[in-house]
Structure 1
């Protein structure tokens, strides 16, 4: 009798989350090198690898389970990917904006201040208070928003992916496995 190792959704999700982190790092530096405005529509490019890797996590997990996966198993694998990916992206963002490229944070603050002043709905004092608050807590709020946003978006996408990749065993599938596992006489 051979012991089979049960596939680990956590291992698979972690692998794809680190691949996603590598893609995020490359895209971040590409945007910086090409001087693409982070507030432009190009920022949505980052969602494509997130979605693709979440679905690949679910597909790989189903494949490792022998081609069968319940809805709950699919959701769990996808959500783990989203959670790990969000945490890794948040950590990278903190390191990137705080230490590697703090000038990017400074640029973002200048753009935010200019937008507040341009709207004209705030007094100079209110803009100053808002900018002081943003300079003090903005980076932490950004990192928190990335982690939570990834988890929320990942939960929704995991539901969709689980519905797509779900393939539960029927009683006939179980009978076929028993027949295939019996030794030949």
Structure 2
């Protein structure tokens, strides 16, 4: 039993680091191509997370005798992958927004203003919404929110993958 825990951790950490590296490379490409505000690119990290969790669980299942793996073991591997990717991603988001592309926060705010204007909000309502959201638009807060969102998505993805990959 001890070996399966070590294997789950090592596989989860390895795949989590691979996923984090791919995610960082992707965000650099997005930056270089000026795709930061494209709506389609917001979903790719979650698709990547799903693929990495699936591959990690599959890899771990293949180390088991007769490929027998419980729901809990599958979920554990998925959450280790998620944890590693979240931790690395939070650090990356902070570094990216603080040092590489500090104008991104301003671009996000401008997009929010445009969306609020498109919804017919008054200038007063827009100003009030911006003053409330300004506190949450700093690089540390954005990193925390990105980590929480990715963590929740990772838990859901891990549950789904575990449900389909378990083999009794």
Same fold (TM over 0.5): yes
2:68 counterpart of 1:68? yes
Match of 1:22 in 2: 21
User: Which has the greater radius of gyration?
Assistant: 1
Deviation (angstroms), 1:163:
2.4
1:14-45: per-residue Cα shift (whole Å, max 9, x none)? 21111111111111121122222434223222
Q: Which runs of 4+ in 1 moved over 6 A?
A: none
2:106 counterpart of 1:103? no
The answer to whether the Cα contact below 8 Å between 1:83 and 1:150 also exists between their aligned partners in 2 is no
The answer to whether the Cα contact below 8 Å between 1:54 and 1:78 also exists between their aligned partners in 2 is yes
RMSD: 2.3
Which TM-score applies when normalising by structure 2?
A: 0.82
Counterpart CA distance in 1 for 2:37 and 2:91 is: 18
1:37-90: per-residue Cα shift (whole Å, max 9, x none)? 434223222222211100111112222233221111111111221222123212
More RCO (CA 8 Å, sep 6+): 2
Match of 2:79 in 1: 79
Q: Which sections of structure 2, spanning at least 5 residues, go unmatched? A: none
Counterpart CA distance in 1 for 2:49 and 2:101 is: 23
Over 3 Å counting, the alpha-carbon distance change for 1:51 and 1:123 in structure 2 is same
Indicate the larger mover: 45-54 or 30-39.
30-39
Helix, strand or coil: the match of 2:136?
helix
Helix, strand or coil: the match of 1:102?
coil
Q: Structure 2 matches for 1:151-166, cutoff 5 A? A: 151-166=151-166
